[in-house]
Structure 1
């Protein structure tokens, strides 16, 4: 007999992910899922509209857990902007690695499907807010309009960078996903070099790393 779960959002979320991991497929219906965990459909719909929205919440859960971990660190507030972003990446991907089977199931092993993008839409909103809150400053530009465009584009560029890192992590077969760690370090450094228009050495170094890992593989 199924054990009755806590009827709050996280309890339902955990019950769903456990069932997904055990069966390797979505429940047949909301009714069947609710019956299996001994809650009413009303209790389910108080938190989620459907399974797609629930799965979307998994990624915001990982995001929130990451931010909470960082906020509990006594050193985090003293970090510079780049170190804060690096800390976010390493902590976030630790969360994903600890739940890799689930993440791969939800993202269908990284297939570039529209449904996958929808599952990440709430994460995108929260991550962009986080990046905006870091106050990353681009280089001073002579044209005011260009500066505004660059400032607005920082969070979007950061999101694309996060997605490229996610794809690399999905494909990474190195022990302990150590190559993902290298990818994170080099991509963050290259990103800050791009924003500050510093010499292209680190960007070229990052490009060489991608070439070695993807083209020559």
Structure 2
């Protein structure tokens, strides 16, 4: 019987990441993994149902750790949405870089996009919620369904932006991944330029005015 040791979800994450990089022969099953590190298999299942669930947790963990760092920064709270998102990306990719071997291994070993999507599903949900709560200025269409559609579209575009930065970072060969930092800055600037609602507001206000005037004259 395996020797039981003190273990929690964070310890399992640490052991699994090490095993992926150093001891892949011990990942044929959850039992083999637990037996190698000398703790009961039941301990693993107290926190995760499978290796797949564990990997989903790890990718979301990069998000939660990023949020933790940002929430401890007084400067971050004073930032506008654009600079908050920039800070998120810089911090997030700094954490990914600290775990680059694992991240690249897991994303490149996936045989198809569906596997990657599954691994990143929890991260995706958390990130999209984060974007919705950034307070990015939007047009109020005075219609709940349209406003919700606008929120959903904005968070989906932000997720696609994160994925494009991630792909760039994986292929980046520049020193200290400096090109990724430049790509982040340009991507966020371009994204907020596209979302610039000042022109949209002007058109929307004009349309409302004409609609009211048409009603008054009829």
- Change in CA separation of 1:151 and 1:113 when aligned onto 2, cut-off 3 Å: closer
For 1:55-134, list aligned pairs within 5 A.
55-108=55-108, 112-134=112-134
**Deviation of the 1:113 alpha carbon:** 2.8
Q: Is the 8 A contact 2:26 2:36 kept in 1?
A: no
Q: Is the 8 A contact 2:34 2:44 kept in 1?
A: yes
Please provide the CA RMSD for this pair.
2.4
| Greater alpha carbon shift after TM alignment, 18-27 vs 180-189 | 18-27
Structure 2 distance, partners of 1:185, 1:111, is: 31
Q: Is the 8 A contact 2:3 2:40 kept in 1?
A: no
> Whose radius of gyration is greater, 1 or 2?
2
**Deviation of the 1:149 alpha carbon:** 2.5
Structure 2 distance, partners of 1:148, 1:67, is: 24
Structure 1 distance, partners of 2:190, 2:131, is: 16
- So what's the TM-score if we normalise by structure 2? 0.82
Aligned length: 198
| Greater alpha carbon shift after TM alignment, 104-113 vs 141-150 | 141-150
Q: Is the 8 A contact 1:63 1:123 kept in 2?
A: yes
Tell me whether 1:185 sits opposite 2:185 in the alignment.
yes
Structure 2 distance, partners of 1:5, 1:164, is: 41
- So what's the TM-score if we normalise by structure 1? 0.83
Gapped regions of structure 1 (runs ≥ 5): 200-217
Structure 2 distance, partners of 1:91, 1:12, is: 24
| Greater alpha carbon shift after TM alignment, 67-76 vs 130-139 | 130-139
Report the 3-state secondary structure (helix = DSSP H, G, I; strand = E; otherwise coil) of the residue aligned with 1:134. Answer: coil
What residue number does 1:44 align with?
44
- Change in CA separation of 1:192 and 1:141 when aligned onto 2, cut-off 3 Å: farther
- Change in CA separation of 1:3 and 1:168 when aligned onto 2, cut-off 3 Å: farther
Question: CA offsets, 1:173-217, max 9 Å, x none?
Answer: 111111111110011111111111579xxxxxxxxxxxxxxxxxx
Structure 1 distance, partners of 2:23, 2:65, is: 26
Question: CA offsets, 1:113-150, max 9 Å, x none?
Answer: 32111100000011111111112122456988654422
| Greater alpha carbon shift after TM alignment, 148-157 vs 34-43 | 148-157
